[in-house]
Structure 1
Amino acid sequence: MALYDLPLEDLRMYAPDVACPDDFDAFWADTLAQTRAAAWEARVEPVDNGLALVDTSDVTFAGYAGDPIRAWWHVPAGRRPRAVVVEFIGYSGGRGLAHDVAAWPLAECAHLVVDTRGQGWSHWRSGDTADPHGSGSAAPGMMTQGIEDPETYYYRRVYSDAVRAVDTARELAPGLPLFVTGGSQGGGISIAAAALAEGVAGAMPDVPFLCHFARATTITDARPYREIGEYLAGHRGRVERVYRTLSYFDGVNLARRATMPALFSVALMDVICPPSTVFAAYNAWGGEDRRIEVYPFNDHEGGGAFQRRAQLDWLAERMR
């Protein structure tokens, strides 16, 4: 893929005027109050992961509407962790298997790997969490489920689950600094968690999805954004209603409300999450302590292992 978006010098200054509804904060305050009112004590069951250096527990916690959300809790065996990393997963993926352990526990961090409700059908990482809530007419996939009303939109439940994941991780490891991360969809969810949850010390959104919907849905024909275009192609005349719903979930509007340190990444040949949409969220970030790693010749794989090392170094600076 060749470069197709704005030049890098323009991307670094790109700060679009993304519409934000007047009741944005009230909507999320009410949503999270309802979500927490339905919460119950998390279930934590140790499992045999077949590994010697990492201990794992199967965690089930209450998400939106009290729905059970599954996660893995990995900790360094025989050592007290120095921080907590809560990770959200890319589109179509799930928490995987108990031995699918990332580098975080080896870096002396507890690691909560959170399922995304209704997903986990991917061959690369399976999931175990259902979404029991229905939807009206929708395009195949998750992007348009309930999209004509913010009260019914799928990502209202997902972002609420993310906040409850942070709540749960803080209960499992009280007093430790807590960071959120994820790639693609997981990066977008980590922005939401950073903006909406309490007690987040830092965020590491990696090539984040779910940002600047109005541009993303018109500059790229790649999925998952294409699901929204397909829906609007069939439901003519509903563009304004759909984009109003999406404004409550746009990573740009959420990033403005996040004030903790952040490490982003972007790939300039990424057709799934266009660079301008990533920079829109990065440039809107509410905190001054922010950095973005740029990978000029990469598509949606982004920095891969290079970005993970950048994250490890960035996190180590904040655990001193």
Structure 2
Amino acid sequence: MTTVAAYAAPAAKAPLERTTIERRAVRENDVLIDIKFAGICHSDIHQVREGWGEAIFPMVPGHEIAGVVTEVGPGVTRFAVGDRVGVGCMVDSCRTCENCRAGLEQYCTRGNTMTYNAVGKDGEPTYGGYAQTIVVDEDFVVRIPEGIGLDEAAPLLCAGITTYSPLKHWNAGPGKKVAVLGMGGLGHMAVKIAHALGAEVTVLSQSLRKKDDGLRLGADHYYATSDPKTFEELAGTFDLIVSTVSAPLDFGAYLALLRTDGALVNVGAPEEPVSLNLFSVIGGRKTLAGSSIGGIRETQEMLDFCAERGLGSEIEVISADRINEAYERVLAGDVRYRFVIDTSTI
């Protein structure tokens, strides 16, 4: 066991504070990572504040982790000391179910082990990336290509793969009209990736405040959802809408923007239940769906895709003592577009 510094929430809704945690000794197939940068995801805030249900405390959030390998176990074959690597939202799964065998560990039928706010197979709680180091089985570590900085790569481990996976699954590409609902930490990456895949991209945002950014990042069109004319003008337009919004929506209004056989895919997860009139999907044979992160293979594919095209996250790097301030700014929508913690300041 090794003692390392970290930032943790001691209890639900409590401010995060500097503390120390224990990391396990490196096992046969483990990789020890010196964390360089950790992104702040809205999911961190949901879990620290128990918005998604009862949580485990003390909690060290962080599942957008980028760093450098400093030690490997004797059985490790894919990584070596000095490699640039990342860790995303999960650190283990059953590895034997149908989904795991298919590379869909995010949908492990027996439940995967999340990077934090979870209990591992050893019975110990998991602690995330707001820390100096982390120890992870090599099967849940990905390589960060040289074509992208570690700071810009960190948010790709959640925001990047969470948007890349549904865009690929629903075949975003040339000839497809894709709308991105919400222009935040996830939304701005969805715009970049959908554009790089060759789709015609429209941003649907509450206001036009970020229009210049949206067009710069690859959107072809930008509309304000606060304007009722938007829903009249865009009715029946899109093949795919990716919603990154973590608040309840009028799904009927957004489903009406889809073409026949179109899909509205949710990657944002509201804390409250939502309602739906089924005629919104029956008419037009439309799909209301959800998507989680990607599996490990797909996450590596996403990183390679982004590095080849220079698609890093738009970030604001902060010191660890500003984490609580950053949380409030995320809730206020005051970030363009992802806070990243310089973990050397922990």
Select the structure of larger CA radius of gyration.
2
More helix by share: 1
How does the TM-score come out when normalised to structure 1?
0.28
The structure that is strand-richer by fraction is 2
State TM-score, norm by structure 2: 0.27
